[in-house]
Amino acid sequence: MSSKLIRYGGPAAMLGGALYIATFGVVYLIYGLFAQQARGTFFGDQEFVYLFYIPMYVLLLLGAVGLYLRQRSCFGLAGKAGFYLTAFGFSLGAIGSASVVVIGLTAGDEAALAAPTFVTHALSHVLYAVGSVLLGIATYRVSVFPKEAAVMMGAGPAWQLALFVSGINQSYLLLLPPFIITALAWMWLGYALLSERESPVASAPAV
């Protein structure tokens, strides 16, 4: 089972990274460039955008699992904590997104969508941002995968979180760089996981 999850984790991370930046593009088109045209249509409803979030978070979760299983023998407490925080954050993102779609299509009550929206965008982001930093540091130190990709995996979500906390997240231009960095990180790590042949890593330090 572990070997299958590792093997499938590579393509999942690559697709998840691609969806990560694609979803940002969809959000920009609907709520930025074509906001007036999309208003009042299904494409302008938040349920449409969350249809992209669901597979994105699921694929990133599978990618994180594959990445962790490949390195877990070298991970100490920090690396394991980083994985679990990241995985929990992606899981909450998927669950929250699915809840927004289901509630929005059945009830359509904006107030009812407040809780799942908060889970998807706030709570899950904090968890996987903190987790990605720890996981990125551990991945960097273990050196099984490209160190540059490990740095990008931790830096991208942390950068995004800093923009949201500071309240300057309304500019798509400012949000674009960390989104690109995060997407490229997962695509790079996914490619490395897919193309890598099993090699002994027992000598790597536990982190």
Higher pLDDT, 174 or 199: 174
Q: Is the pLDDT of residue 202 over 60?
A: no
Residue 206 confidence (pLDDT) above 60: no
Predicted local distance difference test score (pLDDT) of residue 178? 95
Which pLDDT score is estimated for 120? 78
Dig out the tokens for 147 from the structure: 């160190």
What's the mean per-residue pLDDT of the chain?
Answer: 86
The pLDDT confidence band at residue 111, using thresholds 50, 70 and 90, is low
Measured distance CA(80)–CA(68) in Å, rounded: 8
State pLDDT tens for residues 20-63.
Answer: 999 999 887 777 666 676 676 666 667 788 899 999 999 999 99
pLDDT at 93 over 80: yes
Q: If you average pLDDT over residues 141-158, what whole number do you get? A: 95
Helix (H) or strand (E) holding 4: helix 2-28
Burial of 169 (0-12, 13-18, 19+ CB in 10 A): middle
The pLDDT-based confidence of 82 (bands split at 50, 70, 90) is very high
Name the least confident of 17-21, 37-41, 72-76: 37-41
* pLDDT in the model for residue 192: 95
Model confidence, pTM: 0.88
Alpha helices per DSSP H over 107-146 = 114-118, 124-142
Percent of the chain predicted with pLDDT > 70: 85
Does the pLDDT value for residue 90 go beyond 90? yes
Q: Give 37 or 68, the one with higher predicted confidence.
A: 68
Mean pLDDT confidence for 104-123 = 73
* Mean pLDDT along residues 70-75: 92
How far, in Å, are 18, 33, 99, 114, 206 from residue 78 at the CA level? 27, 42, 31, 33, 9
Domain residue ranges in the chain? 2-195
